[in-house]
């Protein structure tokens, strides 16, 4: 065996040892350095344009504005002939349906419009497009052990995260490329009343391609599947 071959084997072995010795928090820091190298997330102020494709439905096209310093969130979503708009400014909320803001309670109920739903959208988009940085939020429990798993034929470093009861009860797993620390998959499971994971619950999300927005590497495509049967649910496509 020549010197070059020995060097390659040694380097690969060294990388494996490093990966095995990483703690959960150390892996998270490396992933954040990959996705947000200039630490821009905490001052994020930008627009996201997302098209959601689901089987047997028309696309839902959304414009989303997130301004973290001003605690501001806005989403305008159009599917077929219906456009809904939600604006959340700190503790206030406004709702618009096809340009009309003076809505009756009957109209809101018929179209499932509420400030609770506005905040749900705010939390949903801010969380998913703020990953992995959002894993440093208060109430997130980063498990110390990093696992090596093979998913769809590729090896990953896997970080486990759970949450304080006041935040949520789901258990999440984040799959990172062992060389670049890019986040490529995440997966969540529901838990029962005793906190035990329900293996047939939840979904996994496959991330492909990258868009750079405000200096942050975000997934262009997020394809959703059920854990229990790999059934395809839909894909969110982000455009610059």
Answer yes or no: is 15 within a domain: no
Query: Are residues 89 and 172 located together in one domain of the fold?
Result: no
Which residues, 6 or more positions from 189, have their beta carbon under 8 angstroms from its beta carbon?
A: 170, 171, 197, 198, 199, 201, 202, 227
Strand partners, 85: 76, 96
Examine the domain organization and report whether 140 and 124 are in the same domain. no
Residue 223 and residue 148 share a domain: yes
Residue with tokens 């909320």: 93
The last residue of a domain, from among 129, 162, 196: 129
Specify whether 150 is located in the same domain as 219: yes
pLDDT tens track for 39-94: 999 999 999 999 999 999 999 999 999 999 999 999 999 999 999 999 999 989 99
Which pLDDT band, with edges at 50, 70 and 90, does 21 fall under? Answer: confident
pLDDT (0 to 100) of residue 13: 44
Number of independent structural domains in the chain: 2
Residues 117 and 141 in one domain: no
Whether the pTM exceeds 0.85: the reply is yes
Q: Is residue 14 part of a domain?
A: no
Flag whether 231 is in a domain.
Answer: yes
Residues 119 and 146 placed together within one structural domain of the fold? no
Q: Which of 113, 129, 145 is the last residue of a domain?
A: 129
229-238 tens-digit pLDDT: 999 999 999 9
pLDDT band, very low/low/confident/very high, at 166 (cuts 50, 70, 90): confident
Model confidence at 14: pLDDT above 70:
no
Q: Strand, coil or helix: what is 46?
A: strand
Say whether both 28 and 142 belong to one domain.
yes
Mark whether 113 and 161 lie in a shared domain: no
217-to-18, 32, 70, 176, 233 alpha-carbon distances in Å:
24, 10, 22, 14, 24
- Whether the pLDDT of residue 163 is over 50: the answer is yes
Query: Range of 100's domain?
Result: 45-129
User: pLDDT tens digits, residue range 82-134?
Assistant: 999 999 999 899 999 999 999 999 999 999 999 999 999 999 999 999 999 99
101 and 83, same domain (yes or no): yes
> Of 99, 129, 159, at which residue does a domain stop?
129
194 pLDDT tier (thresholds 50, 70, 90): confident
């Amino acid at each position: 065996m020549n010197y070059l071959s020995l060097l390659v084997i040694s380097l690969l072995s060294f990388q494996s040892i490093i990966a095995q010795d990483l703690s959960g928090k150390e892996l998270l820091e490396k992933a954040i350095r990959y996705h947000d190298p200039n630490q821009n997330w905490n001052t994020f102020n930008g627009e996201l344009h997302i098209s959601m494709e689901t089987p047997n439905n028309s696309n839902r096209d959304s414009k989303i504005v997130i301004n973290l310093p001003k605690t501001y969130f806005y989403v305008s979503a159009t599917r077929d002939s219906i456009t809904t708009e939600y604006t959340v400014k700190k503790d206030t909320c406004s709702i618009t349906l096809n340009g009309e803001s003076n809505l009756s309670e009957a109209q809101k109920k018929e179209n499932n419009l509420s400030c609770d739903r506005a905040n749900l959208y705010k939390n949903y988009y801010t969380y998913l497009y703020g990953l992995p940085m959002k894993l440093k939020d208060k109430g997130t429990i980063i498990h110390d052990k990093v696992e090596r798993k093979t998913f769809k034929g590729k090896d990953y470093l896997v970080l486990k995260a759970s949450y304080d009861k006041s935040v949520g009860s789901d258990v999440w797993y984040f799959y990172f490329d062992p060389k670049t620390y890019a986040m490529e998959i995440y997966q969540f499971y529901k838990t029962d009343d005793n906190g035990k994971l329900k293996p047939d619950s939840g979904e996994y999300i496959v991330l492909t391609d990258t868009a750079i927005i405000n200096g942050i590497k975000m997934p262009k495509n997020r394809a959703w599947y059920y854990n229990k049967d790999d059934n395809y649910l839909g894909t969110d496509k982000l455009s610059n």
